[in-house]
Amino acid sequence: MKTLVSIVLAIVLSAATVWAGTAGDSVEVRIVSDNGMELPFYNVSSRYPAKKVYAEAVKGDHYKILVRNKLGRRVGVVIAVDGRNIVSGQKSWLRNNERMYILEPYSSYEYAGWRSNQDSINRFYFTDVPDSYAAAFGDQSAMGVIAVAVYPEVQRYEPPAQLRSQASDSEISSSPSNELGKSGQAPSAKAESADRSAGTGYGRSEYSPSHTVTFEPESRSIENIFIKYEWRSTLCKKGIINCGRPYSKPGNRLWDNGGYAPPPPGH
């Protein structure tokens, strides 16, 4: 049986957390800044099955991506920010062979930065495009997009003895954890000029221990969620939020390798 190496972060959110983010069928997602402010989401009409919303970013704010598993089974979540996998730092296509985090049934976790090694991350923060992590690699294909792809674990029947043996071999560490695995990237967003678009930087380093586990994801994601974040001035210009003029509904215009995320060139 094919298995994929996964990494698990020792960060667990309280089950009592109130979720007011974008709610999918399998997971709920929120974006929260370090000052406790939750980014407001604005729905975007779409003919595609993926969930898509706009969000208002505040320049300079460090932020976290909070995800809650609504299913009674383990799932792997591939998370990409500005088109880059937040674990490997590689260009992401939201596929099941990318590095991903694993969530236990009904568990909640927070992802606060680019994973630079097994025990630390470099924080997410909102910044201008030229200062962003993705732009440092010459990649602006999905700038300003946070993408989450959900892969349930393959379920197989095995005799109890084999199940016990497999469980003992798969866990490298028994510490409380949030799991990570492989999957993909955000779709390309329509190019925006760097002077008025938002991106995510490679911020300060923080201690964030993790451990590896085995996880076999299903071949196709059951749900993709896309959050397009922008400065308030840009949301106003696009008519996504009402800034003193009649509200107009957006036309969805912005949607028309087994390693860790390395520091950007020149960091």
Per-domain residue ranges for the chain? Answer: 4-250
* C-beta of residue 73 within 8 angstroms of C-beta of residue 152: yes
Question: Reduced to 3 DSSP states, what percent helix, strand and coil does the chain have, rounded to the nearest 5?
Answer: 10, 40, 50
| pTM for the model | 0.74
What is the distance of C-alpha 242 from the center of its chain? 28
Per-residue pLDDT of the chain (267 residues; tens, 9 = 90+): 444 444 443 333 222 233 345 667 899 999 999 999 999 888 875 555 557 889 999 999 999 999 999 999 999 999 999 999 999 999 999 999 999 999 999 999 999 999 999 999 999 999 999 999 999 999 999 999 999 999 999 987 666 665 455 543 333 222 334 455 543 333 334 444 544 689 999 999 999 987 778 999 999 999 999 999 999 999 898 888 887 754 444 444 343 334 678 788 777
- Tokens at 132, concatenated: 């962003």
- Tokens at 11, concatenated: 């960060």
- Tokens at 143, concatenated: 């700038």
